[in-house]
Homo-oligomer: A and B are copies of this chain.
Amino acid sequence: MGTTQLESVPEPKYWHLKTVLSEALDSEFSVGEILPNERDLAARFGVARATLRQALEQLELEGRLQRRRGVGTTVAPPRMGVSVGSEQHAWPGGPDDAWHAVDCRLEVPPPALAEPLVTGSDEAVHIVRRSRVSRGQPVASELLYVPAASVPDLSGIDAPSGAARARAVLRELQRLELERQENAVELGSAGADESKELDRLPGAPVLVVTTRYIARGRTAALSVATYRADTCRLTFGDFGGVEIHHGPERQAS
Contacts and interface: CB of A to CB of B under 8 A. Distances in A.
Interface string A187-202: 1110010000000001
B184 A234 contact: yes
B183 A232 contact: no
B233 A243 contact: no
A182 B236 CA distance: 7
Interface size range on A against B = 35 or more
Nearest to A232: B186
A98 interface: no
Contacts of A63: 186-187
A181 interface: yes
Contacts of A237: 85-86, 181-183, 236-237
Interface in A164-190: 174, 180-189
Interface in A196-253: 202-203, 205, 207, 229-230, 232-247, 250-253
A34 to B, nearest CB: 23
Contacts of A232: 186
A58 interface: yes
A245 B246 CA distance: 9
Given A86-B237, A245-B244, A250-B90, A62 B184 contact: no
A81 interface: yes
Interface in A70-123: 79, 81, 85-86, 90, 95
A246 B242 contact: yes
Contact of A183 (B15, B235, B251): B235
Given A62-B189, A236-B237, A242-B247, 6 more contacts: A61-B188, A61-B205, A182-B238, A184-B234, A186-B207, A186-B229
Which 10 pairs, one residue from A and one from B, show the smallest C-beta to C-beta distance? A187-B229, A183-B237, A186-B233, A245-B245, A182-B238, A185-B234, A184-B235, A180-B239, A243-B245, A184-B233
20 contacts: A15-B202, A61-B189, A61-B205, A62-B187, A63-B186, A85-B236, A174-B251, A181-B237, A181-B239, A183-B237, A184-B234, A185-B185, A186-B233, A187-B187, A207-B207, A237-B237, A241-B247, A242-B246, A243-B246, A243-B247
